[in-house]
């Protein structure tokens, strides 16, 4: 029986499932492991089921036991792992695509609405006793008939588009390549980010974190947006240069921002917490019971598939 280190607590049914298939070291207390602990605890294991809270960089990977053949990440994103360093050590890295598409698209709509309709200020006022209804009290921006620019039309971007269409939004997108007609539906493709941003009343970041997308929203690119644009990010914090964003929020260039992800999580750039026009959630994109169980089971199945066949369809390196 293969031995697996599961670095973080999973949903109970996923842990029970793993116990049926592998000799598993669970993290019952869900205590964050130091790098040394992770290296030590995995030293007699054949695989690691990791989470986004572990940074498996070149240095950590170089110190892993030769026994380890797979790192199965409990996430669709894998920016926490140096996949090339893993490849050089003949360790495959896998992720959990598809199963979290809907949940993440739902949270994107939540932060879109939260930012557009001034939910942070609304919650603040509702908790005081002295709010008064008036015709212009906390008036926000309406989604209906406005243009939504989507950066990254992969599975999650397309699921966001489907939901936004129901609100009557017109979809525009920028992607490495244009989608086939059946996936594109009625969306308008833009050949450049500048072109997409310039028509985006609302803008949703749904691309992976890579060297190319790091700080793609910066001092220069923010200028391309129409005045008063609403931006949301449910992908990874890396895409936004926080200083530039805060400046744009303060100047009114950007109307509001909805965030579920941050640079340096769990830290949040302090001004995002104090500015009234920033609606924040603590990385809840995939956090539904159904999705978290599905992600855990898929991360386990990825390991099983690899040890049974030598391959895995969700391999990313």
Q: Is 237 in the site for ligand DGY (CB under 6 A)?
A: no
In the bound state with ligand DGY, the residue whose beta carbon lies nearer, of 75 and 187, is 75
The DSSP bridge partners found for residue 231 are 203, 257
Name the residue nearer to ligand DGY (CB basis): 164 or 295: 295
- Smallest separation (angstroms) from ligand DGY to the CB of 280: 15
| In the complex, minimum distance from the CB of residue 149 to ligand DGY, in angstroms, rounded to a whole number | 21
Pick the closer one to ligand DGY by CB: 175 or 234: 234
Which of 71, 100, 207, 259 binds ligand DGY (CB under 6 A)? It is 100
75 binds ligand DGY (CB under 6 A): yes
Is 305 catalytic? The answer is: no
**What radius of gyration, in Å, describes the C-alpha atoms of the chain?**
21
| Residue listed under structure tokens 């949301």 | 232
Q: Least Å distance between CB 194 and ligand DGY?
A: 27
Tell whether residue 76 is a contact of ligand DGY (CB under 6 A): yes
Which of 4, 52, 171, 257 binds ligand DGY (CB under 6 A)? It is 52
Binding to ligand DGY in span 279-298, by CB under 6 A:
283, 285-286
> How many positions of this chain bind ligand DGY (CB under 6 A)?
8
When asked if residue 314 is in the footprint of ligand DGY (CB under 6 A), the reply is no
State the residue for tokens 């009290």.
Answer: 137
* Sites of contact with ligand DGY (CB under 6 A): 52, 75-77, 100, 283, 285-286
Q: So which residues are the catalytic ones?
A: 236, 265, 283
């Amino acid at each position: 029986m293969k031995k697996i280190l599961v670095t973080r607590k999973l949903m109970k049914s996923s842990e029970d499932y793993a116990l049926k298939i592998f000799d598993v070291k669970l993290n019952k207390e869900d205590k964050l492991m130091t790098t040394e602990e992770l290296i030590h605890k995995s030293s007699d294991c054949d695989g690691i089921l990791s989470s986004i809270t572990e940074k498996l960089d070149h240095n950590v990977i170089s110190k892993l036991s030769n026994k380890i053949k797979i790192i199965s990440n409990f996430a669709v994103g894998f920016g926490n792992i140096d996949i090339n360093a893993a490849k050089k050590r003949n360790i495959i890295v896998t992720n959990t695509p598809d199963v979290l598409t809907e949940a993440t698209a739902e949270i994107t709509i939540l932060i879109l609405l939260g930012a557009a309709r001034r939910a942070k200020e609304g919650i603040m006022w509702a908790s005081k006793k002295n709010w008064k209804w008036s015709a212009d009290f906390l008036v926000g921006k309406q989604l209906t008939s406005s243009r939504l620019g989507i950066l990254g039309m992969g599975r999650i971007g397309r699921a966001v588009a489907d939901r936004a269409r129901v609100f009557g939004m017109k979809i525009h997108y920028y992607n490495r390549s244009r989608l086939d007609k059946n996936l594109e539906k009625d969306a308008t493709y833009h050949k450049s980010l500048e072109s997409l941003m310039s028509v985006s009343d609302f803008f949703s970041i749904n691309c992976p974190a890579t060297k190319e997308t790091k700080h793609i929203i910066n001092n220069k690119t923010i200028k391309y947006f129409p005045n008063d644009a609403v931006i949301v990010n449910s992908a990874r914090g890396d895409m936004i240069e926080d200083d530039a964003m805060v400046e744009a929020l303060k100047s009114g260039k950007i109307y509001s921002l909805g965030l579920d992800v941050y640079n340096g999580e769990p830290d949040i750039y302090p001004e995002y917490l104090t500015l009234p026009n920033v609606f924040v959630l603590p990385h809840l994109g995939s956090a539904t019971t159904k999705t978290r169980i599905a992600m855990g089971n898929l991360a386990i199945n990825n390991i099983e598939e690899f040890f049974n066949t030598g391959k895995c369809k969700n391999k990313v390196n």
